[in-house]
Structures are given as structure tokens and as C-alpha cells.
Amino acid sequence: MIAHRLPPLGPDDFSREDNRALLVELQAQLPAAADQTAWDRLAGLPEVLEERGRQIVEQVQHRPSLTDEKLLKDLGDSLLRLRERNLVEQVQQVRFLFLETQEGDSPDEARTLGELMTAYTAQKGHIHKLLSTRSMTGMLAQRKPTAAN
């Protein structure tokens, strides 16, 4: 994701508190986790987070195995979709606040919220473009103009 100028996955990417806490705990274990299995890493977590982690691992284990290349692509796409979903929610929240401030007498706050809404919308567009490019349809669409030249 660094190649796309996106920050790494962080707790703010999640809306559920248990997912945020699970990510923080797992990221804290990263340096020592290289030689551990998923189950070993989960065993070191607080009980409530261990249970949530076990649920997630069990879900993943029932899916077909993926190549490393496909796994990395899917993880990147999932992160982008997660960020896009969060930006949609943030734009809606800011839009609501923006409309409220327009009805009031706070032009500076309305301008600031308008700028924030524009920035979030631009980020959402950037992520949408990245997802499109990463999809098969997006890759084929990019190759057609090149092949025509």
C-alpha cells in the first residue's frame, strides 16, 4: 500500500472496538511473531480478543487457499475497500454537519467543513481509482488504449 501512498492498516480503519483492539495487540506482537503460528499469537492475547481472533482465523481456514500473490492482492483490495467505506461514512457525517452549519450563523465553520468534505471526497475518488486499476476490468481498460497506439 506504500506504493500507492496509503498509510498502513491502523486501528482507525475499523469501526468495531474489538477489531481495533485486536489489531493493536497483533501489531505489538509483530517483531516476535515471525516464528509463531496464528494460534500461538492468539494465545498471548487477552481472552476476549483471543476469542474474536479465533473466530476470524476459523473463518479464513474454511476458505480455499490462495497463492501469496493473490493473497497480497486481496489484502490490498480489502484494505482499500475498508478505507473507501470509512470515507463514505465520514463524508456523510461531515455533509450533515455542513448542512447544519449553513442553517446557522457560522460561515467559517461551514467553509472548514466544506473543505474537509472536498478532501474526503477526493481521497474516496483516489481509492476508487486504485481499486478500478487493480481489478481485471480496470487492467484491461488501461491496456486497450496502449494496444491501439
Of the chain, the end-to-end C-alpha distance in Å amounts to 31
- Model-level pTM? 0.67
Cell numbers linked to 20: 481495533
Which of 84-88, 137-141, 144-148 is most confident? 84-88
pLDDT at 32 over 80: no
Alpha-helix residue ranges (DSSP H) falling in the chain: 17-29, 38-43, 47-61, 68-103, 107-134, 136-148
Q: Is 8 helix (H, G, I), strand (E, B) or coil?
A: coil
What is the grid cell recorded at 95? Answer: 455533509
